[in-house]
């Protein structure tokens, strides 16, 4: 009888033990705002003819002004001996329509796991992961953007009329990528990625992307830098980025620089500045970008954009915000354009919930 009871006790304990060695977490963000945009923010310009389309100002319900709306699953399993299996899958969506093709960034293919989708191993020597992942430059620069690539005119990219969106740091997410993240030693973390373009036809460029970056944290001081090389037949070829920031108790300042070079010549240099200050019960954010393009087919005048936001917490997981973004991106418009669209402005009031 005692043996039977012991067997039952052991059997009952086994599932608990197995469960303790692994965990799966559901996470997400829902971000909705009412946005006003003026005529210049809504205009479309033909990249070839420079013709300016008609537009009007107005209101709309928007998704992802502060943070792209998403839900995902992340997990870890302890394999023993300091080895763990890790994974993340993340779906981006537009909370205003339920559309899977939005989610705060271009997703023309309508991929369901359009945020992240990767699996890998965690060891004491670092993590090795494979799938759709953030780029090394992304990880190196995001600590110095105090909005975490949120609100208007953040470091993730420029929005406005009359030009194809330009992302100062190059591609943010890389498909078909194998990545390494080092353990943090003395405040230093190193990232490396090789993304396979999978052009195996024997013609043209491979579209492979290689990237390396590093970030160093010492108290309130942060330094980050990275480099990407892209084997492409046209478009972006290399990206160089560097940033520095310092956080005080209730104030932070940062400055960054990126330089993009394109196949066949041409470059875009960008100076980025970010700041935050605790103000009343919330936080005030400021982002500024100065863009100097030298690309065939563009007007190539210096351009500027500005974003201001205020966020106030309602709880640990919920906050409301107001945000305004404006820009003069004439220099990024097609050279053939005879009309300058230089006063794009957007303003939002929104609510964000984390789970």
CATH of the domain at 256: 2.40.160.10
Per the structure, how many domains does the chain have?
1
Q: What is the pLDDT of residue 83?
A: 97
Distance CA(14)–CA(93), nearest Å, equals: 39
Q: Whose CA is closest to 135, among 268, 28, 241?
A: 241
Provide the domain limits for residue 151: 34-73+135-354
The answer as to whether 290 is a domain residue is yes
The sign of the dihedral angle between the CA atoms of 265, 156, 337, 52 is positive
Q: How far apart are the first and last CA of the chain?
A: 48
The answer as to whether 107 is a domain residue is no
The pLDDT > 70 percentage for the chain reads 84
pLDDT tens digit sequence for 91-131: 999 999 998 855 445 555 668 899 999 999 999 999 999 99
The answer as to whether 127 is a domain residue is no
The answer as to whether 101 is a domain residue is no
The answer as to whether 227 is a domain residue is yes
Distance CA(28)–CA(352), nearest Å, equals: 11
Q: Global pTM? A: 0.85
The answer as to whether 153 is a domain residue is yes
The answer as to whether 320 is a domain residue is yes
Q: What is the pLDDT of residue 14?
A: 43
Helical spans, DSSP H, in 24-111? 39-42
Distance CA(16)–CA(33), nearest Å, equals: 43
Q: What is the pLDDT of residue 110?
A: 67
Mean pLDDT of the region 60-84? 95
Q: What is the pLDDT of residue 91?
A: 95
The answer as to whether 18 is a domain residue is no
pLDDT tens digit sequence for 241-258: 999 999 999 999 999 999
E strands in the chain:
22-37, 58-63, 70-80, 83-92, 116-123, 126-134, 173-181, 188-195, 209-218, 221-230, 236-247, 251-262, 267-279, 282-294, 303-313, 318-328, 344-354
Distance CA(59)–CA(74), nearest Å, equals: 36
The sign of the dihedral angle between the CA atoms of 327, 288, 286, 62 is positive
């Amino acid at each position: 009888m005692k043996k039977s009871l012991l067997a039952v006790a052991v059997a009952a304990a086994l599932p608990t033990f197995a469960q303790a060695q692994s965990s799966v977490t559901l996470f997400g963000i829902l971000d909705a705002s009412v946005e006003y945009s003026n005529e210049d923010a809504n205009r479309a310009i033909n990249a070839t003819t420079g013709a300016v389309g008609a537009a009007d100002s107005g209101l709309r319900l928007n998704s992802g002004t502060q943070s792209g709306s998403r839900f995902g699953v992340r997990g870890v399993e302890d394999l023993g001996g300091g080895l763990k299996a890790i994974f993340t899958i993340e779906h981006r969506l537009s909370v205003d329509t339920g559309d899977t093709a939005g989610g705060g960034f271009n997703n023309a293919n309508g991929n369901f796991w359009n945020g992240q989708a990767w699996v890998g191993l965690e060891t004491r020597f670092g993590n090795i992961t494979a799938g759709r992942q953030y780029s090394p430059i992304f990880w190196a620069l995001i600590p110095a953007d105090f909005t975490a690539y949120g609100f208007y005119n953040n470091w993730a990219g420029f929005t406005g009329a009359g030009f194809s969106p330009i992302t100062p740091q190059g591609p943010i997410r890389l498909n078909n990528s194998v990545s390494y993240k080092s353990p943090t030693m003395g405040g230093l973390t190193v990232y490396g990625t090789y993304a396979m373009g999978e052009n195996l036809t024997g013609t043209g460029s491979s579209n492979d992307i290689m990237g390396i970056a590093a970030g160093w944290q010492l108290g309130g001081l942060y330094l980050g830098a990275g480099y990407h090389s892209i084997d492409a037949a046209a478009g972006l070829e290399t990206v160089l980025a560097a940033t520095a920031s310092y956080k005080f108790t209730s104030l932070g300042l940062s400055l960054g620089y990126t330089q993009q070079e394109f196949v066949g010549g041409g470059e875009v240099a960008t100076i980025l500045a970010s700041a935050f200050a605790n103000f009343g019960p919330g936080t005030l954010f400021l982002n500024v970008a100065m863009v100097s393009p030298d690309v065939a087919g563009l007007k190539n005048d210096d351009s500027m954009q500005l974003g201001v936001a205020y966020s106030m917490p309602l709880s640990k997981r919920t906050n409301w915000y107001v945000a305004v973004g404006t820009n003069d991106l004439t220099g990024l418009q097609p050279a053939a354009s005879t009309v300058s669209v230089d006063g794009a402005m957007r303003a939002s009031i929104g609510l964000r919930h984390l789970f």
